[in-house]
Amino acid sequence: MSSTPIYSSPFTSDAFRVKVGLAEMLKGGVIMDVVNAEQAKIAEDAGASAVMALERVPADIRRDGGVARMSPVSKIREIEAAVSIPVMAKCRIGHIAEARVLESLEVDFIDESEVLTPADEENHVYKHDFKVPFVCGCRNLGEALRRIGEGAAMIRTKGEAGTGDIVHAVRHLREVTRQMKSLTLLSRDEWMAAAKQLAAPFELVVWVAEHGKLPVPNFAAGGVATPADAALCRILGAEAVFVGSGIFKSVDPANRARAIVEATTHWDDPARVAAASEKLVEGMKGIEAGKLVEAELLQTRGW
Amino acid sequence: MTVPVGVLALQGDFEAHGAALARLGIDSRPVRTAEEVRASAGLVLPGGESTTMWKLMEGTGIAEAIVAVARRGDPLFVTCAGAILSARRITSPDRDGLGLLDATAVRNAYGRQLDSAVVTLTDLDRSVLGGEPLEAVFIRAPKLADLGPGVEVLARRNGDPVLVRDGNLVAATFHPELAADARVYDLVFGAAAARAA
């Protein structure tokens, strides 16, 4: 593997451009959690721009407990064979070997995800070592920039997965946006202190200060259960939306998936969001995220 | 006031196209309805997922509007997924396209994301693009096959056509919107830009 310092040209290397390029293609779309080929096909037919393979959807992980790991290899192959859209898959935080296995299976994107049980309590995967692009979650700007520093080509703000409660996705989208805006107001003399405070790579802090946005696409995830939830994420600046349990834990997955796709595209047209929601019955019952105790939170995994 | 170019903004990298057009001084706006498509002076169909775009076009009249804009002779620029939508036939899965590009689009023909790459194209139609190599970003790209007699090949990658012109439509299987080279945009909107100036 190359030992080239990543800050010599982190955003101009062809390898990184191609990774971010796929993230660009996923903008404006919905990435849906699926556990098997049947769900993947429903997602594709509903207009998903990609599917995310995982062992169990977050609501089941939350209900059943136990260690949540990468999806079985046979399931990933089955999903790849079933659909023509990009296939993403989750690996555990810091689980270099799971990530390598997913790369060898030629998944299109790896999500190093807090929804699975972390494999490393301290370190994330060094993602520049891989040819396959990575997405990682964040709760604030510092966390986003640390992941990008390691080579993430896409960021998703963390909600509280498996709850059907949008409140934490909103909190973290607002937080990241507020912190980015604040950076743009600083003078150059203040950048290093900001980097220290954010615990983020200086060069990336400078980039955000000068551009007012992340250097990679910024999507939202966690707690999206309705078309209006998806529209809300877009209103708050998310460039695309991940939906986990919200689809396949509802009573009408195909219709709900289709409606969330429609609302994500037409987020700025309330009549279209209403029309998309017209035929839907109740969404997943959900859990109020504010009632969860600290140990039950998935979003606090990773740093 | 000039009429802006419409960039189909159902899903995909439509913002990258908008930014590329802005750098060239060409006014554009994202379009999401049949009315907005018809009211555009020229269209861009961007990269993204073609299956998602088809789904979002169903029952909206957008497909018919795109065809109408093309038939009236407006410039059309279609990249990657946009080229798939425009083709006469599409494979994997098989279906008809909009029929604006007389070719078959073979989806995911190079393989998965690991096969995506930045490639320097040297096999160019020099009379149109000049002699400088063209940097091309391929992301899960399709291939174009069964080209009709009216389709001009402007660039090839390992012999495969990757940039073609069919009348007022220019199709790229790569992403000129993700590169700094303006030549491909000039090819499509050169005349429009000159009019606006």
Strand order in the sheet with B28-31: B28-31, B5-8, B43-45, B76-79, B169-172, B160-166, B152-157, B123-124
CB pairs under 8 A between A and B: 108
Interface touch B47/A108, C-beta < 8 Å: no
pLDDT the model gives residue A7: 52
Residue A8 pLDDT grade (very low, low, confident, very high; cuts 50, 70, 90): low
Q: Residue with structure tokens 């405070």?
A: A197
pLDDT the model gives residue A302: 84
Residue A296 pLDDT grade (very low, low, confident, very high; cuts 50, 70, 90): confident
CB-based contacts of A104: which residues, under 8 Å, 6+ apart?
none
ipTM for the predicted complex comes to 0.95
Phi, psi angles (nearest 5°) of residue A39: -65, -40
Task: Measure B55 CA to nearest chain A CA, in Å.
Answer: 6
Interface mutation vs chain B, best among A14, A24, A83, most B CBs within 10 Å: A24
Q: Can you give the residue range of the structural domain that contains B129?
A: 5-196
State whether the Cα torsion B177-B180-B186-B190 is positive or negative: positive
The reply to whether B80 belongs to the active site is yes
SS3 assignment, position A83: coil
Interface touch B178/A21, C-beta < 8 Å: yes
B30: β partners: B7
Q: Is A289 on the interface with B (CB under 8 A)?
A: no
Average pLDDT over residues A108-124: 96
Residue A297 pLDDT grade (very low, low, confident, very high; cuts 50, 70, 90): confident
Could you read off the pLDDT of B55-95 as tens digits, one per residue? Answer: 999 999 999 999 999 999 999 999 999 999 999 999 989 99
Structure tokens at A224: 């999206």
Phi, psi angles (nearest 5°) of residue A149: -55, -35
The reply to whether B64 belongs to the active site is no
What is the distance between the alpha carbons of residues A214 and A225, in angstroms, rounded to a whole number? Answer: 26
User: Which of A22, A47, A107 is the closest to B55 by Cβ?
Assistant: A47
A251 exposed, middle or buried (CB, 10 Å; 0-12, 13-18, 19+)? Answer: exposed
What is the distance between the alpha carbons of residues B17 and A187, in angstroms, rounded to a whole number? Answer: 31
Task: Measure B160 CA to nearest chain A CA, in Å.
Answer: 20
- Model pTM score: 0.94
Could you read off the pLDDT of B158-170 as tens digits, one per residue? Answer: 999 999 999 999 9
> Is residue B92 within 8 Å of B134, Cβ to Cβ?
no
What's the CATH code of the domain at B178? 3.40.50.880
Average pLDDT over residues B102-110: 96
> Is residue A246 within 8 Å of A164, Cβ to Cβ?
yes
* Count: domains in chain B: 1
> Is residue A83 within 8 Å of A41, Cβ to Cβ?
yes
